[in-house]
Amino acid sequence: MKNKVTFKNRKQNTPEAEASRKQEKGKKEVHKLKKRLFQNN
């Protein structure tokens, strides 16, 4: 289990993982904004 976690962390530190994480965050932000817009209407 411990090895799995450390491997995951190592993998997340790669530039590709960083970029994909930023992309995911961006998608979530967009979703939040859309939700807010719909609530205002």
DSSP 19-40: HHHHHHHHHHHHHHHHHHHHHH
Asked if 14 contacts 5 with a C-beta cutoff of 8 angstroms, the reply is: no
Q: Is the pTM of this model over 0.85?
A: no
Would the CA dihedral through 13, 18, 20, 22 be positive or negative? positive
1-41 pLDDT, tens digit each = 455 655 555 656 677 878 888 888 889 998 888 888 888 75
